[in-house]
Structure 1
Amino acid sequence: MCLHCSNTPLPQGLVGLRNLGNTCFMNSILQCLSNTPDLRDYCLRNTHRTDLNNNCRAKAALMEEFAKLTQTLWTSVSSEAISPSDFKTQIQRYAPKFVGYNQQDAQEFLRFLLDGLHNEVNRVTVRPRLPAEDIDHLSDNEKGKKMWNKYLEREDSKVVDLFVGQLKSSLTCSECGYCSTVFDPFWDLSLPIAKKGSGEVSLTDCMRFFTKEDVLDGDEKPTCCRCKARRKCTKKFTIQKFPQILVLHLKRFSENRVRTSKLSTYVNFPLKELDMREFASENSMNAVYNLYAVSNHSGNTLGGHYTAYCRNPALGEWYSYNDSRVSPMSSSQVRSSDAYVLFYELASSSHSRL
């Protein structure tokens, strides 16, 4: 049943977005972000204005339009779908690749949008030049904290508070055993879809594929810091710091010289209690997540369509967002082979609001 076909007043957050012409990729991501509780509250309470004022930024139109759109989605008493045209004007000023009405990639759009929002509400107004430091004598845990604090000295916003985690890359020389580590911030994790001879593929399979040890040999050989020569090495990713909101991108699209193809593999993912502790660099008690939104892509690379499935944070029920149409759905319908970008929230964060 489409909610907008009835004349009864709608609960908040159940308003659709008009398709302006192949803008379903944008609508899908906007609905997922609108159902991100702490980001929604940041906009509804106008807390973003404090950050904008503190930064004295003249160019803050993207954050303002995003906040305005979120506020309308959550305060509208009308069942009419909203036009996101003012928001689209601002996102294409920030990222000209979104000018026009061509179909775009939802995950790529999400990255541009979060980057734009962060830049406008960054609490750091003048990014300091950070001198290089010798941190080789520190433990990996201390190195990770040091690098995270350095990152926050330049990039510090509500958007970072919610979405950014830290990835640890370990490179081990097979000749001398020396292990070097690099720590990088991440906004999302792009997971290759695991291939299995039989049985279904799970999200944990994809995470294991992403974090599996890779051998770097031949032309890929890096230079070992201790040997001072190119050596065969093994490389492995682990998660050093888990974000409050974990965005997982299933890599369904692959490109070659001729064409782009799509994998429609069904990936089984949990709606509750996604346990990420096996992928932690250090022992972590705080790495269990609950799903609250999915951006879906149906169809193929030539003629596809994006929708969103979101768990309404006020009602605790799942809804399907298909541009201007919003419909209730069962949680059993959330998993499908169309799932493309998964939004998870730390269980400790969601429990604190219950």
Structure 2
Amino acid sequence: MPSLRHSYTVTVPEQPTAVPMDKSDLRRKSHSLSRSVLVSTFMGLIINQAKNKSPQGLVGLRNLGNTCFMNSILQCLSNTPELRDYCLRNVHRTELNDNCRTDAALMEEFARLTQSLWTSVNEAISPSDFRSQIQRYAPKFVGCNQQDAQEFLRFLLDGLHNEVNRVTVRPKISAEDFDHLSDDEKGKHMWNMYLEREDSKVVDLFVGQLKSSLTCTVCGFRSTVFDPFWDLSVPIVQKNLGEVTLKDCLRLFTKEDVLDGEERPTCNKCKARRKCTKKFSIQKFPRILVLHLKRFSDSNIRASKLSTYVNFPLKDLDLREFASESSERAVYNLYAVSNHSGNALGGHYTAYCRNQTLGEWYSYNDSRVNPMSSSQVRSSNAYVLFYELVNSTHSKYQTCRL
């Protein structure tokens, strides 16, 4: 079977090309909610914040019965500046998709909850209304069983995206061979095809593009595939001596892998199954990079968890060496961490988030919110890391929307 280190979260690959059609038919027109209404709503929230004595964004979430996984992710997303402002300004109401199967209730409840986390004078609030909507969208979260925070994040982002997808009519698709194009042209083409079907504020923020290169060891033919990704699940390096760093884990994820034996793929040139090498690189860096440390085993025989301490930078994470083009520079700053303490059979989730307004780190443990030192952010419990792009020389794929 394929190497487990190549397990990463992506949407369904959009390889075939779209049949030409009038792109004006693909995107809906915004609802008639004027910009002045949005601005006045946002100003009202600011005024309410000014009246409150306590700093905003420091409100806890009550545990409704093993919902710490949900609370941890919600606090991380609430401290994602662009997503938070999108909700505070009610911009989502101008982008609701009439075709979504949940009547946009999930996005609305998420926005309300985010607004409450930044305007409430209470020490903690209940996310019960939001929980009802996420259970409606994803029934696997019904009940009080402990769930995986990273899996919950993916379901939530997918649900939010579907409800504010700017595309109302997805174009028909047909197969097309792009091997005659350069990698750069092919990557751009695949990205534009993806946006013709999936285009939202959530995509603007969280989705990047991964390049997979497959090289035949017999004839030397190289093929490339470009897939969108919402987060990257990176393996944790095992060392007998020395410290494990986040870059060590990323190097293992992008390390060239040999596919042989039953894993041999079919070479497009040889027209036969050949021994090949496979390598990942990042073609498009997302504005918000979510890195999932693979602490839990994929084995069905025995569940286990790696508690290895992974040292990760809080500032200036330069990922140039993992870019498909070596000249590209992408620098990220950490702003949130979802933590898991315990073992593979059970445990507890918390969040560490940097409050953008105060410039300080806080610990979110369900209803309890406490200040913390930046030196405490790194721990062996770190599970999902949230990084914000602060510097990039890569402009080919940049999208800029309000």
What is the CA-CA distance between 1:201 and the residue it aligns to?
0.3
What is the CA-CA distance between 1:166 and the residue it aligns to?
0.2
Within-5 A mapping of 1:220-259: 220-259=263-302
Match of 1:5 in 2: none
> Residues 286 and 346 of structure 1 are in contact (CA less than 8 Å); yes or no, is this contact kept in structure 2?
no
What is the CA-CA distance between 1:276 and the residue it aligns to?
0.5
Match of 1:304 in 2: 347
Corresponding position: 1:96 with 2:143: no
Within-5 A mapping of 1:159-170: 159-170=202-213
Secondary structure of the equivalent of 2:358?
A: coil
1:277 aligned to which of 309, 320, 332 = 320
Q: Which amino acid aligns with 1:328?
A: P
- 1-structure distance, mates of 2:66, 2:327: 42
Deviations 1:49-69 (A, max 9, x none): 0001x6475710000000000
2:358 aligned to which of 312, 315, 323 = 315
What is the CA-CA distance between 1:78 and the residue it aligns to?
2.6
- 1-structure distance, mates of 2:121, 2:251: 46
What is the CA-CA distance between 1:302 and the residue it aligns to?
2.4
Match of 2:29 in 1: none
Secondary structure of the equivalent of 2:174?
A: coil
> Residues 318 and 329 of structure 2 are in contact (CA less than 8 Å); yes or no, is this contact kept in structure 1?
no
Match of 2:85 in 1: 41
Relative to the length of structure 1, the TM-score reads: 0.94
Q: Which amino acid aligns with 2:196?
A: E
Q: Which amino acid aligns with 2:220?
A: G
Within-5 A mapping of 1:172-251: 172-251=215-294
Q: Which amino acid aligns with 2:385?
A: L
What is the CA-CA distance between 1:196 and the residue it aligns to?
1.5
Match of 1:3 in 2: none
2:117 aligned to which of 73, 76, 97 = 73
Deviations 1:208-233 (A, max 9, x none): 00000000001111110001111000
> Residues 272 and 289 of structure 1 are in contact (CA less than 8 Å); yes or no, is this contact kept in structure 2?
yes
> Residues 339 and 351 of structure 2 are in contact (CA less than 8 Å); yes or no, is this contact kept in structure 1?
yes
Q: Which amino acid aligns with 1:82?
A: I
Match of 1:352 in 2: none
Match of 2:94 in 1: 50
Within-5 A mapping of 1:15-164: 15-52=59-96, 55=98, 59-79=103-123, 81-164=124-207
- 1-structure distance, mates of 2:322, 2:110: 34
What is the CA-CA distance between 1:286 and the residue it aligns to?
4.1
- 1-structure distance, mates of 2:231, 2:300: 27
- 1-structure distance, mates of 2:263, 2:250: 23
Deviations 1:125-148 (A, max 9, x none): 111112222321110010000000
Q: Which amino acid aligns with 1:278?
A: E
> Structure 2: 5+ residue runs without aligned partners?
1-51, 393-402
What is the CA-CA distance between 1:26 and the residue it aligns to?
0.1
- 2-structure distance, mates of 1:103, 1:308: 16
Deviations 1:169-195 (A, max 9, x none): 000000000000000000000000011
Corresponding position: 1:263 with 2:311: no
- 2-structure distance, mates of 1:62, 1:283: 40
Secondary structure of the equivalent of 2:151?
A: helix
- 1-structure distance, mates of 2:77, 2:331: 20
Secondary structure of the equivalent of 2:297?
A: strand
Aligned residue pairs, count: 340
What is the CA-CA distance between 1:203 and the residue it aligns to?
0.1
Secondary structure of the equivalent of 1:41?
A: helix
What is the CA-CA distance between 1:283 and the residue it aligns to?
3.5
Secondary structure of the equivalent of 1:194?
A: coil
Q: Which amino acid aligns with 1:201?
A: V
What is the CA-CA distance between 1:262 and the residue it aligns to?
0.4
Q: Which amino acid aligns with 2:140?
A: K
Task: Check 1:284–1:129 CA distance in 2 against 1; reply closer, same or farther (3 A cut).
Answer: farther
2:376 aligned to which of 333, 339, 342 = 333
Q: Which moved more, 1:284-293 or 1:268-277?
A: 284-293
Q: Which amino acid aligns with 1:228?
A: K
- 1-structure distance, mates of 2:343, 2:294: 14
What is the CA-CA distance between 1:303 and the residue it aligns to?
2.8
- 2-structure distance, mates of 1:93, 1:243: 29
> Residues 246 and 312 of structure 2 are in contact (CA less than 8 Å); yes or no, is this contact kept in structure 1?
yes
Deviations 1:47-99 (A, max 9, x none): 000001x64757100000000000000011233x1100000000011000000
